[in-house]
């Protein structure tokens, strides 16, 4: 597969918009692929894509979108910051349109200037899994994966490779 190259969300959005019809067709085909085969396709490409791409040279996810924050995340982060959970919620979180708790305003308040995460060991579960292309049952998150092409250069590259393999 092609080497992953960094792109800004603006560049990725533009590329996805230009390719909208082909991508929609591809994702229709992916929906019809067996769950086992779909997971295998994504997992193989995920491993290949991350072999020599360093997330520290990107941080688009931490800069432009927020993970969903669970109660367990709140407890863990509040402990790490030595504040009460209620204080953590008031200081850092808001409820989004889907009724999920998220960080108030991207970039993430814990993203450091060198793209390291200030709370790495205690970071939310969703941060650990992002961009979720190596999880099981990829069928369940195909729409999110398509949306993530506009944020994550790795997901965009994986999908470009899938286009070659599937079409």
Could you list the residues that contact ligand SF4 (CB under 6 A)? Answer: 55, 58-62, 67, 108, 110-111, 117, 119, 123-124, 127, 130-131, 151-154
| Shortest CB 122 distance to ligand SF4, Å | 8
Instruction: Give the residue with the Cβ less far from ligand SF4, 29 or 79.
Output: 79
Instruction: Give the residue with the Cβ less far from ligand SF4, 39 or 150.
Output: 150
| Shortest CB 129 distance to ligand SF4, Å | 10
| Shortest CB 143 distance to ligand SF4, Å | 17
Quote the radius of gyration of the chain (alpha carbons, Å): 17
User: Three-state SS for 7?
Assistant: coil
How far CA 100 is from CA of 97, 161, 165, in Å, comes to 7, 32, 36
- Phi, psi dihedrals of residue 103, rounded to the nearest 5°: -65, 150
Instruction: Give the residue with the Cβ less far from ligand SF4, 23 or 103.
Output: 103
- Dihedral (Cα; 73, 154, 115, 81), 10-degree rounding: 0
Instruction: Give the residue with the Cβ less far from ligand SF4, 33 or 134.
Output: 134
Distance in angstroms (rounded) separating the CA atoms of residues 75 and 86: 10
| Shortest CB 28 distance to ligand SF4, Å | 24
| Shortest CB 59 distance to ligand SF4, Å | 5
How far CA 54 is from CA of 25, 41, 57, 73, 117, in Å, comes to 30, 22, 6, 25, 14
Instruction: Give the residue with the Cβ less far from ligand SF4, 39 or 92.
Output: 92
What residues contact 134, with CB distance under 8 A and at least 6 apart? 42, 43, 46, 47
């Amino acid at each position: 597969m092609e080497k992953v190259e960094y792109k800004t969300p603006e560049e990725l959005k533009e590329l996805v918009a230009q390719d909208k019809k082909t991508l929609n067709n591809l994702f229709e085909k992916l929906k019809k692929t067996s769950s086992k085969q779909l997971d295998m396709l994504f997992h193989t490409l995920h491993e290949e894509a991350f072999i020599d791409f360093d997330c520290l040279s990107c941080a688009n996810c931490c800069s432009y979108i927020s993970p969903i924050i669970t109660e367990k995340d709140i407890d863990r982060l509040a402990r790490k910051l030595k504040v009460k959970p209620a204080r953590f919620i008031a200081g850092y979180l808001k409820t989004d349109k889907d009724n999920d708790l998220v960080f108030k305003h991207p970039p993430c308040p814990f993203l450091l200037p060198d793209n390291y995460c200030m709370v790495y060991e205690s970071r939310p579960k969703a941060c650990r899994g992002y961009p979720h292309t190596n999880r099981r049952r990829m069928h369940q998150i195909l729409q999110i994966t398509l949306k993530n092409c506009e944020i994550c250069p790795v997901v965009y590259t994986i999908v470009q490779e899938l286009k070659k393999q599937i079409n």
